[in-house]
Amino acid sequence: MFDSILNAFRAPDIRRRILFVLGTLIVFRALAHVPVPGADPTKLAAFFNGNALFGLLDLFSGGGLSRFSVVGLGVNPYINASIIMQLMTGVVPALTALQREGEYGRNKINQYTRYLTVPLAILQSYGFLAVLNQAGVLNTTFDLASFGTLTQIISLTAGSILLMWIGELITEKGIGNGISFIIFAGIVSRVPGVIQGFLSNPDWLELVVFGMVGILIIFVIIFVQEGQRRIPIQYANRVRGHRIYQGGSTFLPLRVNMSGVIPIIFAISILLFPLQIATYFKSSSVAVVSQISTGILTWLDTRGLLYLSLYFLLTLAFGFFYTFIVFKPDETANNLRKSGGFIPGIRPGQPTEDYLRRVAFRITLAGATFIAIVAVLPMVLAALPMFSNLNSVGVGLGGTSILIVVSVVVETMKQLEAQLMMRSYEGFIR
């Protein structure tokens, strides 16, 4: 890994990409410390110390939400818009047809996702301000007719749109997925604070236990992320003009976890949405609305059994959903038939499609179950009384954090090595 990094810095074009990513992440971290005016810092800190829901939202904004910064919403509105568009693509025929139009269709869907991000960011900005107003955190009058409230909503919305743009720039001009990098940077930025919080009241036995669990999780994540099911593909002899081209054999690699960390991000976004809405209406003057909101917040406690069970099931479900969006057995079988390839022992056409679907289902079951367990296990451990100290400094969120961080690092290193390999082949061609 270190050799690849050193070789990457020796190559001017790859070095520029890496420095571009680092520069944009520095800009993101700088923006996370630019506050939106109108909040009392002392009351804001007290609000986040006693609110597990917004503490979880603050995790993905890199602390920007707890500072009431211009990028406090993070990329959460964009992620929610992506989930909505992904779901609509599977049920709306026009979007399904657009998705199959190649690069043009994907660009149009991405454009619709950007448009949808704006109203979602405005809605979430308003809701967050309403919650802060109820908690007595805001110094300004909370009213849509007031200049202060409009300024705060515009600032939070603009910050979220700016992060979306930065993420797309990283994807286009850098290395790796930009949105994942922003989430990665937000999680990593919390590490010094977690270490400081632990050292203020250390318990070394708990640290050793969590350290061993963390190392084991990292090892298993890398092992599963790199796992593949290689399906053998045979190509028959082909005749073109007066020449006969000898058929060859290769394999079709199917990753055990094709969806990466997307299921976890989607599951968290889905679970947090009703909690956010319930928080907004908790202090409603309508008794029924207030009671329903309070009940939702009680049932979906982030450390409760119901929340963890739904978290596990949603991660598992999104693992299947996203895998079969990325991998389409019917298109793969059709492409194999057109290119003269076949799976030994399986007839081309519908039998090949059925076979690929069965194999994809089995390996996805293993991969999705794995990421669901990894996401939930540290939260279960942190909920135990014996680990209350580590839970108090935020290590209870470590399963999701470790999985996202390790997955982003592994994917980035693979893309870096691919760039280096491509550069080596270009040298041979010259």
The arithmetic mean of pLDDT across residues 91-106, rounded, is 80
Residues 273, 169, single domain; the answer is no
Residue 241: what pLDDT? 58
Using 50, 70 and 90 to split pLDDT, how confident is the model at 153? very high
What is the arithmetic mean of pLDDT over 145-174?
A: 89
Q: How confident is the model at residue 116 (pLDDT cuts 50, 70, 90)?
A: very high
Does the residue 250 lie in any domain? yes
Last residue of a domain, one of 140, 158, 189: 189
Classify residue 219 as exposed, middle or buried by CB count within 10 Å of its CB (0-12, 13-18, 19+): exposed
Residue 235 in any domain: the answer is yes
User: Does residue 295 sit within a domain?
Assistant: yes
Question: Looking up tokens 């005749």, which residue turns up?
Answer: 239
Count of domains observed in the chain: 2
Question: Encoding tokens for residue 424?
Answer: 């080596």
Is the confidence at residue 74, as pLDDT, over 80? yes
The kind and range of the H/E element at 128 are: helix 103-134
> Do residues 159 and 256 both lie within one domain?
no
Q: Tens digit of pLDDT for each residue in 403-425?
A: 778 878 877 887 777 777 776 65
Handedness of CA 285, 286, 287, 290 (dihedral sign): negative
CATH code of the domain containing 376: 1.10.3370.10
153 and 242 share one domain: no
State which residues form the domain around 372. Answer: 202-430
pLDDT reading at 12 higher than 90:
no
Same domain, 150 and 55: yes
Q: Distance between CA atoms of 337 and 354, rounded to whole angstroms?
A: 14
Whether residues 245 and 164 fall in one domain? no
Considering the domain architecture, whether residues 152 and 212 belong to the same structural domain is answered as no
Q: Is residue 345 part of a domain?
A: yes
Q: How does DSSP assign 274-335, residue by residue? A: HHHHHHHTTT-SSHHHHHHHHHHHHHT-TTSHHHHHHHHHHHHHHHHHHHHHH--HHHHHHH
Q: Do 144 and 247 fall within a single domain?
A: no
386 falls in which pLDDT band (50, 70, 90)?
Answer: low
Average pLDDT over residues 2-19: 75
Q: Which of 127-141, 186-200, 241-255, 356-370 has the highest mean pLDDT?
A: 356-370
- Distance between CA 177 and CA 123 in Å, rounded? 26
Res 142 pLDDT > 60: yes
pLDDT of residue 281: 73
Supply the pLDDT for residue 119. 92
The last residue of one of the domains, among 158, 189, 220, is 189
Judged by DSSP in three states, 384 sits in: coil
Handedness of CA 76, 81, 82, 88 (dihedral sign): positive
> Residue 370 — very low, low, confident or very high, per pLDDT cuts 50/70/90?
confident
Q: What is the pLDDT of residues 252-274, one digit of tens each?
A: 888 888 877 778 777 877 787 77
Residues 311 and 252 occupy one common structural domain: yes
On whether residue 257 sits in a domain, the answer given is: yes
